[in-house]
Amino acid sequence: MNGTQASRIADLERLLRRIAREHAPSALASSLSAEDMVITDSILRLGLDIEIFTLDTGRMHADTLNLVSAIRERYGYTMRVQQPESEAVTDYVTRFGRDAFYTGPELRERCCAIRKVAPLGLALRGKRSWITGQRRAQSATRSALALQEFDAARGLAKFNPLVEWSGDEVWSYIGAHRVPYNRLYDQGYRSIGCAPCTRPTVAGEDVRAGRWWWEQSGARECGLHVAGDGRLVRSGETVS
């Protein structure tokens, strides 16, 4: 491990301790990505009082959800798995079809709103802050990401502790700490969401190019990090 990486890990642990101390109750919204597994490992190794949850949209790869049991076996921690509201899912499928998100942005965003955004709101109920594994290098839309933001849509402090980390640093941490990770990464996936909306990327493509690849333009975001008016939440406003 080089000096930069050691200092990044020290910064990560310092920030997580501060969040647990000054911004409780807090939660890591884990997509079970490599980045979220780094933060999960830090939280659980340090024994911090920060909840870790994931959203089971009902359309995930089995390899992704297998990490829930891998975390339980490795750390003895049972993470919360938040499901979407079944009536809303049934209504969508009945009216438009299960895979209607391929027909255009409106039904794609509506599916994400039901299966991701609404469950995120439920999981964050009662929290003062939340944590994500977003990094600036993942895409152009994340290039201005701040370490600490104010999530105005939910009225919560929001932290992105890996904002300055490179992909190589994430994988170096996973290797050094023997952190469980999604085996789909070994098959060419670099950003993993719902199974029907994710494909592997090819050389030269943006990390998130495999997400909703059929859409010709747009932020390639699902709404978890987008304000109610459609803007990406990137205020960078500092919260105490």
Least distance to ligand SF4, CB of residue 198, Å? 8
DSSP letter (8 states) at residue 232:
B
Q: Phi, psi at residue 171, to the nearest 5°?
A: -75, -30
Cβ-based nearer residue to ligand SF4, 43 or 117:
117
Q: Between 47 and 86, how does the x/- string for binding to ligand SF4 read (CB under 6 A)?
A: ----------x-x---------------------------
To ligand SF4, the closest distance from the beta carbon of 113 in angstroms equals: 8
Within its chain, how far is the Cα of 199 from the centroid?
17
CB of 111 to ligand SF4, least distance (A): 3
Q: How far is CA 239 from the centre of its chain?
A: 21
Site string for ligand SF4, 212-231 (x = CB under 6 A): ----------x---------
* Per rule CB under 6 A, count of chain residues that contact ligand SF4: 13
> Could you tell me the end-to-end alpha-carbon distance of the chain, in angstroms, rounded to an integer?
32
Angle between helix 34-46 and helix 62-75 axes, rounded to 10 deg = 20
Considering the complex, state which of residue 12 and residue 224 has its C-beta at the smaller distance from ligand SF4. 224
Shortest Å, Cβ 225 to ligand SF4: 13
Asked if 156 and 28 count as a contact pair (C-beta separation under 8 A), the reply is no
Looking at residues 97 to 136 of the shown chain, list those that interact with ligand SF4 (rule: CB under 6 A): 101, 108, 111-112, 115-116
Nearer to ligand SF4, 61 or 142 (CB): 61
For residue 205, the tally of other CB atoms under 10 A from its CB is: 12
Residue nearest to ligand SF4 (CB): 194
What gap in Å lies between CA 11 and CA 133, rounded to an integer? 14
Q: Which residues are catalytic?
A: 222
**Least separation, in Å, of the C-beta of 233 and ligand SF4?**
18
Closest to ligand SF4 by CB, 157 vs 219, is: 219
27, 53 contact by CB (below 8 A): yes
Instruction: Name residue 226's amino acid.
Output: V
CA distance 233 to 96: 29
Cα 152 to its chain centre, rounded Å, is 18
Among 65, 76, 13, CA closest to 39: 13
User: Contacts with ligand SF4 in 184-213 (CB under 6 A)?
Assistant: 193-194, 196-197
User: Which residues of this protein are in contact with ligand SF4, per CB under 6 A?
Assistant: 57, 59, 101, 108, 111-112, 115-116, 193-194, 196-197, 222
